[in-house]
Chains A and B, each alone.
Chain A
Amino acid sequence: MVANAHQIDFRDVEPAEWTHCETATQAAQTAFPVLPADELSSYFELNDVNSVALGVRLSPDTEVEALADRLDQIALIEVDFPAYTDGRGYSQARVLREHMGFQGELRAVGDVLIDQLRFMKRCGFDVAVLADHVDPDDAEAALKRYGVWYQPAADDRPPAHRLRRFVQNWEI
């Protein structure tokens, strides 16, 4: 894993010593490998697999639907944001959580900056690994600043219109 990288946990996750692997054969001999998505089919063809749990790393153009058959064998999915401006990872996360029922750990990596965290949290990520130069205290502070959301997403947080029914404060 990235050494000394600061990560923001949106939910408690089981800690594990994940190791990035480039090939399926390498991953098969690693306890907690994280494998590129396009190596996945080779990995599952191997007979001699000694991994304890499997992680997969997506690129923004990975078709997450292709993981459907193996999803219950995947413990961790890393969603890469090569640039903060590339928002495909948010849709990948929501599709994995809401359409495909992925229950494992969902982790945002790459160009993860402060202003993206609150969106990642809502799209179903468990963890965001901050880009190197981002101050984790600033990140935590910014994340706490937003309490109002207007739309349902992957985090079960009720949108404002549903809360309005309970607080009856709209006659102002």
Chain B
Amino acid sequence: MYQYDNFDKQAVRERAADFRDQVERRIAGKLSEDEFKPLRLQNGLYLQLHAYMLRVAIPYGLLSAKQMRKLAHIARTYDKDYGHFTTRQNIQYNWIKLVDAPDILDELASVEMHAIQTSGNCIRNISSAQFAGVAADEVEDPRPWCELIRQWSTFHPEFAFLPRKFKIAVNASPADRVGVKLHDIGITITRNAAGERRFEVYAGGGQGRTPMIGKLMRDDIEAHHLLSYLEAILRVYNRYGRRDNKYKARIKILVHETGEDKFREEVDAEWRKIEGGPVDADIAEFGRIADYFTAPAYDTEAQVDAHKARAAMDPAFAAWVRHNTLAHKVPGYKAVTISLKPHDGIAGDATSDQMDAVADLSENFGFGEIRVTHAQNLVLPDVRDADLPALYDALFAQGLGTANQGLLTDMIVCPGLDYCALANARSIPVSQKIAKRFDDMDRLQDIGEVKLKISGCINACGHHHAGHIGILGVDRKGTENYQILLGGSAEEDTSLAKILGRGFDEDGTVDAIETIIDVYKAQRQDGENFLATYRRIGAEPFKEAVYGG
């Protein structure tokens, strides 16, 4: 993975020192909370319902064992012994004291981490596929490109005060594992007919209160023009994006109101002025970055299917292998998803001990590398088949062995009203009630793949628009109420879920989900998953079952 050089180290140290100075001025009363707010937001520090929340950047979801141990240490020392992994592949600490925040940034800087641009109206952490570099289907490893974009966007002097936040995701497989069309900019790295590298750039996608699917801007961007093309989009957005209404300020509204074709022309006009100019990093810099992402020393003798003997006699282990491991590009290896969705837990949360355990396991069964997924799970990318039984046992002992990756209880859940100052309803309790109702592995496996996503308000941090089943918490006359949506997808077949009908209270929501699953089971054909059945039969049968004829 990428290693900081002296420039990178200096950059995060400077930021940490700057923030220490700002916090001292705040505590000394030289800065009001209003004046301090923009400064703390540039460092990922939010004031939530009960305390400060610190969001730490995990660039494209990639962590070393050493970094994971530091995250555990921070949780243990400065928070309540746990952290929350987010849909942007970051980690949040929910109970931070302001006076500790500068020390935490210093701790992070010591392991090449920071909280820069994890909040505020700027270019946020670049997200990417959790299986980057190991998936058999990718055309190349997207992470060096993510790192190139990370550096370009860090402290970008022109784009620190955009109309609204700006999220970029990079994918490099035919299978979309990042939600390319649901980001402000989504990038797919491809090969053209001649086998040359090209970047497909989508703009104007997003969720929130006005969900929109991103539009293809160009499919022919060459490597040495990538940064100038991104800069052109950002400049047009910075100049013309709406600033009169924060709910209409994302680039999706600009693209929509300008019109896809006209917006593309405006970007092209700007791009022609800067393409090939100073912003287009020389390819030598890309080579320098790419050298950090060379393949580790895989065991060429790794025995394929060495876990099969255990699987034959242990159905629970077999189910875990089936659901939580992915074919690796190297024979005899698997990429393993560690579920952070135990049926009695909180989606995305991990304790300090669990983080330390995962760090150890990443070294014992891999090359000391860990990924955070947008579905709020963790990944060990390089596990030998022969090591899967020992890894499973170790995870199980830590409460990390739930075999539900991609199944109904592998829910994306926002923090909701238990933590968040923006939320209208709690997300966690309803997710826990659903997990309890479906707490039966045989039943879950029979139901198969369902992406259930829960947001506690219209801002859609829980991605309810993109769920096969989405749940949106609203406040209805002072009581929590949940609307159910069906038919969304954040993958290559991107679609937006549609509201089924009137909402329910918490228990009513759990009942309705069960009814919806029953309809699917009765109607499914030939191994269809939930989404395929929904797309074939439409919403009506579900409506009838949930609301009566």
- Which B residues fall within an 8 A CB radius of A? 3-8, 10-11, 14, 17-18, 21, 25, 30, 35, 38-39, 42, 121, 151-152, 154-162, 227, 235, 238-239, 243, 273-274, 278-279, 281-282, 284-285, 288
Contacts and interface: CB of A to CB of B under 8 A. Distances in A.
A145 B17 contact: yes
28 contacts: A85-B121, A85-B161, A87-B121, A87-B158, A88-B238, A90-B157, A91-B158, A92-B239, A113-B35, A118-B157, A121-B157, A123-B157, A142-B21, A145-B17, A145-B18, A147-B10, A148-B10, A148-B11, A150-B152, A151-B152, A151-B156, A153-B158, A160-B11, A160-B151, A164-B288, A170-B5, A172-B4, A172-B5
Nearest to B235: A91
Interface residues of A, number: 45
A87 B238 contact: yes
A60 B243 CA distance: 11
A88 B159 CA distance: 9
A138 B161 contact: no
Contacts, number: 116
A169 interface: yes
Contact of B157 (A119, A145, A165, A172): A119
Interface in A84-114: 84-88, 90-92, 94-95, 98-99, 113
B155 A150 contact: yes
A91 B238 contact: yes
A122 interface: yes
A150 B154 contact: yes
Nearest to B120: A85
Interface in A122-165: 122-123, 135, 138, 141-142, 145-153, 160-165
A72 interface: no
A123 B161 CA distance: 13
A16 to B, nearest CB: 27
B38 A113 contact: yes
Interface of A: 60, 84-88, 90-92, 94-95, 98-99, 113, 115-116, 118-123, 135, 138, 141-142, 145-153, 160-165, 167, 169-170, 172
Contacts of A152: 278-279
Contacts of A98: 274
A103 to B, nearest CB: 18
Given A146-B14, A151-B152, A160-B7, A94 B158 contact: yes
A119 B273 contact: no
B161 A86 contact: yes
- Please provide the 9 A-B residue pairs with the shortest distance between their CB atoms, ordered closest to farther: A87-B161, A122-B157, A152-B278, A161-B285, A119-B157, A148-B11, A160-B7, A170-B5, A150-B151
B14 A148 contact: yes
Nearest to B3: A172
Contacts of A163: 7
Contacts of B155: 118, 146, 148-150
Nearest to A123: B157
Contacts of B152: 150-151
A45 B128 CA distance: 56
